[in-house]
Amino acid sequence: MERHYETICIVKPDVSEEVTKGIIQKSTAVIEEGKGKLNKLDEWGRRRLGYSIEKKHDGYYFVMDYTSVPTVSKEIERLMKLNEDVLRCQTISIIETKPPKKKKKKKTEAAPAQPVEGGQANG
């Protein structure tokens, strides 16, 4: 059963652009070999990290949005962990939810207000 995934990767900032493009090409090739579909590849470029990783303060970010079987996403994660040029990589499964159905409220008939006998209340 195919699922919708999103993988974000951070590559070391000191590697060449060719190496970075090679990492992206390997990832997309794994998706294609697994008969998955790459919906969107978004290269964010070099950005500041939220915290230092391996004494690095910057990284090259890219995000892949794809549909595939679970084994493909596991293979991408495995390849990224083995690659020394990748600082971090995380894959999430995106669960598409349907909007909740609106429940019809039952109209309750309110009892008519009863007039108070005897006029005003003493206070």
CATH of the domain at 22: 3.30.70.60
117 vs 31, higher pLDDT: 31
pLDDT per position as a tens digit, 52-108: 999 999 999 999 999 999 999 999 999 999 999 999 999 999 887 777 777 766 666
Q: What is the mean pLDDT of the chain?
A: 87
The single-letter DSSP state of residue 29 is H
Does residue 64 fall inside a structural domain?
Answer: yes
Does residue 113 fall inside a structural domain?
Answer: no
Cβ contact 101:13 at 8 Å = no
User: What average pLDDT does range 44-56 have in this prediction?
Assistant: 92
Does residue 90 fall inside a structural domain?
Answer: yes
Q: How high is the pLDDT of residue 101?
A: 74
Determine the length of the chain.
123
Give the integer Cα–Cα distance in Å for 49 and 52: 7
Enclosing domain of residue 56:
3-94
> In 1-123, which ranges are continuous DSSP H helix?
17-33, 70-82
Does residue 81 fall inside a structural domain?
Answer: yes
| pTM listed for this prediction | 0.73
